[in-house]
A and B are shown apart, each in its own frame.
Chain A
Amino acid sequence: MENRGITFGYGFLSQESSFDVQFSLIEFDGSHSYFRAYLVGLLNTILVSVIGIIFATIIGVVVGIARLSNNYLINRTAAVYVEFFRNIPLLLQIFFWYFAALRALPLPQDTEAMFGVFFLTIKGFFVPAFVWNNLDIFIYSLMAAIISIIVIRIYAKKKQENYGIQTPVLSISLGLLIILPLLSFLVGGVNASVEIPVIKQLSQSGYTYEGGIKLPPELISLALALSLYTATFIAECVRAGVQGVSKGQKEAAASIGLTPNQVLKLVVMPQALRIIIPPTTNQYLNLTKNSSLAAAIAYPDLVLVFAGTALMQTGRAIEIVSITMLTYLSLSISISIFMNWYNKKIAIKEK
């Protein structure tokens, strides 16, 4: 290394980066440091991972349940979906959405609004934004609701263990979750107005939308591909989990007089979740790692911003690649430590 004239050190992180990033959650331009560039990349990675995880879970659970349906058509449709999306490389899917599907969208000036407020154009997806007054009070009310729900749950559990009386926790918590934030609107002086994107002419033939939130096509195609791809694996996890609960368990629960809802809630789900959650967490981890494919379509995630642009500018390959790898590594190791702890906690206690 020495004879190649390479020095080693992390001092460059505080230097001024002189590049711009297309899409960032925090303010960033050329005058900010490389460390801030790292944060921008990390936040973008987290953003797309969280969006992907939410949608993948929703699609995966729905498809997994559909896969168990006794309706032949639903069952087959779900199976075709799973087989199809699972067997095509993720990179190919990302390219498909980005270069083929989203490129077929209309220009901003030709776009028709969806529900009057959403605009899906070739330049991105424009959605209305909320403009908040006294956002902090709203958040406090939300936190208060969540804390009281936890307290009620503990209380209800104790009550059931001691006296065998069940409390309708779900409806109470739903009610709290709605009423407290609502109160903050009525009493606390919180108000939110919706800012709808408006079309604006930039040049003779160039249009764009102003106001609202702009989701760039890179983010959409990446999130779409990630969630559709990972959902197939989650669907299989869900199916395996529910099938893993033996029929005798359901029959036994029904024979002691539990209602079908109680059977599902108290007998089937706890056992199924024990099988479902570990592999599903693995899939979340995979999704987060796969989000690094963003570099292929120029979504400014950690790999593109930091291990791409910043590396090209500073030439400090070792430091940058090691930081990038360490970030992913610490993420996945912390999740696997958590998983080991969780596995131990929920494992069947054998004598």
Chain B
Amino acid sequence: MNKLNFLKPDINNLSTYLYTGVVLVTLSIFIVFINSFFNKDLISFLPGTISFFLPLILGFIGLHLIRIDYSGLKFLDKVNKNINTNNFNAFLSLLIVFVIIKSLPPLLSWFILDANIAGDSKDVCTGSGACWTYIKIWFNRFMYGMYPNAEQWRINLSFIALAFLGTIGFFATEKFKKYLTLYYVVVYPVIAFFFIFFFISGGPIFFDFSYGIIAAVISIIIGFFIPSKFKMYYFIIVPITLYILLKYVFFYEELIELGKLEALEWVETGAWGGLSLTFIVSFFCLIFCFPIGLFLSLGRRSDFPIIKYFSIGMIEFWRGVPLITVLFMSSVMFPMFLPEDMFIDKLVRVIIAISLFEAAYVAEVIRGGLQALPRGQYDAAKSLGMGYWKMHILVILPQALKLVIPGIANTFLALVKDTPLIFVVGLLEIVGMLNLAKTNPEWLGFAMEGYVFASVLFFIICYAMSKYSYNLEQKYKTER
């Protein structure tokens, strides 16, 4: 038998070191586990400080003993390589494991074991855990704000329809793939706007909406039979004509007289709220801020001094001020510059403000992409006789935008995370609703549950977005 040297474990006495080490590590984890889950202190007979640090010391010695390079045991090598490379790492690993074990029972008991979800008043929440009943009761408010309960199907229907229309790109056949950009950049936002403006908002203008839908459906059906050469003009002209025809020639008087279609109830934007408002605001701001940002970034590189300095001024101004003051300005200052009888809806003002604000950030991101392109690309495009727009649309932008997908995704994420700020103008999306619910005298003292709930929702949304952008980045990655 070789000589044992506990300060320097080696492979010759592998099993001795291994057994001693594993026993020590297991013992230390076991002590912490029992202490944390069953609240029993196995080593209470020792003096206070020692019993507090004993698991750490035991585990540390144990990990030191099993740190044997090239032991031939796959698992041991893996452990050593990943969490046990040196004393410092071993110590930190142990600390992290202990903290996780220690914090699991309180978290579990708060989230699940001692939590309540049954019943529908706060009386059921007697335990020390979370009161999910609160979330359950207020769920509708957190999702739809003050939107009337009976009308909430309109929001659901709009979102489902928009989500469905948004996924069309995945099902498009090769033949229609080339129209997808046009669809997503022009057609889809317009449809979405109509849905939100006419359907969620409601009111007598709902008639217009139904005409619009009929016109769109008819024109799409006919559109399949039109030769692709004229398709672009067709999709611009025909729906509008159809809409005008429908509205003013065919149906107008008949419907009004018969009163067959009852208008949807008008819901003012002040009553919108909750997560649906978060989606609406983010959606429109995403749509608007991208083209504005694109033009600003092109303008910043323009040769015309007026355009150039205007763009620089816009970008630096919006980037320089905090969003909260921008919203403040839109609610306090902006109306003063309008004629007295003119009134712009708060939601519209907010969307304009956030779009301009985020557009400046998008512009800077895109500028980064434009600058990263080698000059040769411009020269090559020009030498083929392309003009400014043709060069940018066909050569420069596809390459530049591909480069900046992560940056744009980050800006969009920031935008989604900025939407709660609209509380400044009195619009209550989900965080605002939480603060309102928190002050309800019936439901005092459940702030924590609400914030945890909203955090989880936002985390899911933003995490999904960032993962999607990562996929996009991988998809469009080309070797250069």
Closest A residue to B466 by CB, please name it: A87
Contact assessment for B324 and A295 in the assembled complex, using a CB-CB cutoff below 8 Å: yes
- The smallest beta-carbon distance between B128 and chain A, in angstroms, is 12
A88 at the B interface (CB under 8 A) = yes
Q: How far is the CA of A303 from the CA of B423 in the complex (A)?
A: 15
Q: Contact check, B93 vs A73: say whether CB atoms are below 8 A apart.
A: yes
Contact call A100/B319, Cβ cutoff below 8 A: no
Is the beta-carbon distance between A333 and B458 smaller than 8 angstroms?
no
Give Cα distance in the complex from A331 to B423, angstroms.
Answer: 25
Residues of the B chain whose Cβ atoms lie less than 8 Å from the Cβ of A89: 416-420, 431, 458
Cα distance A318–B416 when bound, in Å?
A: 29
Chain B residue nearest to A84 (CB atoms) is B459
Contacts known (A321-B332, A325-B329, A332-B319); A96 close to B455, Cβ less than 8 A: yes
B256 at the interface (CB under 8 A from A): no
Contacts of B332 in A (CB 8 A): 311, 317, 321
Q: Contact between A72 and B83 (Cβ–Cβ < 8 Å)?
A: yes
Residue of A87, A103, A295, A331 most packed against chain B (CB within 10 A): A87
Known A1-B337, A71-B82, A71-B89; judge A96-B451 contact (CB<8 A).
yes
Once the chains are docked, how many angstroms separate the CA of A289 from the CA of B317? 13
| Interchain CB contact under 8 A, A92 and B325 | no
Is B385 at the interface (CB under 8 A from chain A)?
no
Q: Using CB atoms, name the residue of chain A closest to B99.
A: A77
A92→B93 contact, CB < 8 A = no
Q: Does A4 count as interface, using CB distance less than 8 angstroms?
A: yes
Binary contact track A306-332/B, C-beta < 8 Å → 1, others 0: 010001000001100100110011011
Most buried by A among B97, B322, B424, B452: B322
Residue of A nearest to B88 (CB): A71
B447 touches A87 (CB 8 A): no
Contact partners of B431 in chain A: CB under 8 A? 89, 91-92, 95
Assess the A91–B420 pair: CB atoms within 8 A.
Answer: yes
B454 at the interface (CB under 8 A from A): yes
Known contacts A71-B82, A83-B463, A296-B423; A88/B322 CB under 8 A: no
A77 contacts across to B, CB distance below 8 A = 96
Contact partner of B321 (CB less than 8 A), chosen from A6, A69, A311, A325, is A325
Count of inter-chain pairs, beta carbons less than 8 A: 133
Cα A205 to Cα B61 in complex, Å, equals: 51
- In Å, the complex CA distance between A328 and B324 comes to 12
Number of interface residues, chain A, beta carbon within 8 A: 48
Residues in A whose Cβ lies below 8 Å from that of B336: 1, 4, 6, 317-318
Closest to B97 in A: A73
The residue on A at minimum CB distance from B455 is A88
Q: Are A74 and B96 in contact (CB under 8 A)?
A: yes
B389-405 to A contact mask, C-beta < 8 Å, 1/0 = 00000000000000000
A323 to B111, CA, bound (A): 47
The interface on chain B, measured as residues whose beta carbon lies within 8 A of the other chain's beta carbons, has a size of 49
B322 and A95: CB pair below 8 A? no
Distance of A312 Cα from B323 Cα, bound (Å): 20
Query: Could you say which residues of chain A place their CB within 8 Å of the CB of B276?
Result: none
Closest CB-CB distance, A280 to chain B, in whole Å?
A: 15
Q: State which of B333, B438, B458 has its C-beta within 8 Å of the C-beta of A318.
A: B333
Near A by CB (< 8 A), chain B positions 333-379 give 333, 336-337, 340
Contact for A74 among B92, B317, B321, B459, CB less than 8 A: B92
Chain B 293-325 against A: per-residue CB contact (8 Å), 1 yes, 0 no?
000000000000000000000001101111111
B309 to chain A, nearest CB (A): 14
Contact partner of A88 (CB less than 8 A), chosen from B89, B316, B423, B459, is B459
Q: How far is the CB of A35 from chain B (nearest CB, A)?
A: 19
- In the complex, A86→B96 CA distance in Å? 21
Asked if residues A92 and B447 are in contact (CB atoms below 8 Å), the reply is: no
| Binding site secondary structure of chain A | helix
In chain A, residues 74-106, which have Cβ atoms closer than 8 Å to a Cβ of chain B?
74, 77, 83-84, 86-93, 95-96, 99-101, 103-104
The answer, yes or no, to whether A292 is at the interface (CB within 8 Å) is yes
Smallest Cβ-Cβ distance to B419: which chain A residue: A89
A100 near B85 with CB under 8 A, answer no
> Chain B residues with Cβ under 8 A from A72's Cβ?
82-83
In the assembly, what is the distance between CA of A84 and CA of B321, in Å? 27
Residue contact B325 to A325, C-beta cutoff 8 Å: yes
B325 contacts A328, CB within 8 Å? Answer: yes
Q: How far is the CA of A89 from the CA of B416 in the complex (A)?
A: 8
Neighbouring B residues of A88 by C-beta, 8 Å:
417, 455, 458-459, 462
B287 interface residue, CB < 8 Å from A? no
- B188 located at the interface, meaning its Cβ lies under 8 Å from any Cβ of chain A in the complex: no
Q: Which residue of A lies closest to B86 (CB)?
A: A71
Q: How long is the Cα–Cα vector from A329 to B325 in the complex, in angstroms?
A: 11
Contact of B448 among A84, A86, A100, A292 (CB under 8 A): A100
Report whether B421 and A87 are in contact in the complex, using a CB–CB cutoff of 8 Å: no
- Residues of chain B contacted by A100 (CB below 8 angstroms): 447-448, 451
**B 66-116 contacts with A by CB, 8 A:** 81-83, 85, 89, 92-93, 96-97
If the complex has contacts A88-B458, A92-B451, are A3 and B320 also in contact, measured as CB distance less than 8 A? no
Determine whether the beta carbon of B438 is less than 8 Å from that of A99: yes
Chain A residues whose C-beta falls within 8 Å of the C-beta of B281 in the assembled complex: none
Whole-angstrom CA separation of A289 from B82 in the bound complex: 40
Chain B, Cβ-Cβ closest to A75: B82
Chain B neighbourhood of A93, CB < 8 A: 455
Q: Roughly how many angstroms separate A307 CA and B331 CA in the complex, as a whole number?
A: 12
Contact status A92-B320, CB under 8 Å? no
Which residue of A has the minimal Cβ distance to B459?
Answer: A87
Q: Which listed residue, A73, A87, A289, A333, touches B322 by the CB 8 Å rule? A: A289
Verify if B434 is at the interface (C-beta below 8 Å from A): yes
Alpha-carbon distance between A290 and B421 when the two chains are bound, in angstroms: 11
* CA distance in complex: A296, B82 (Å): 44
Q: Is A293 close to B, CB under 8 A?
A: yes
Contact A71 B447 (CB under 8 A): no
Q: At the interface, yes or no: A70 with Cβ under 8 Å from chain B?
A: yes
Q: List 6 A-B pairs, Cβ < 8 Å.
A: A296-B423, A311-B332, A318-B333, A321-B328, A325-B329, A332-B319
In the A-B complex, the 3 residue pairs with the closest CB atoms: A87-B462, A329-B320, A289-B322
Known A-B contacts: A71-B93, A333-B320. Give 11 more (CB < 8 A).
A1-B336, A72-B83, A87-B463, A88-B455, A89-B418, A92-B420, A290-B322, A295-B324, A311-B332, A317-B333, A329-B316
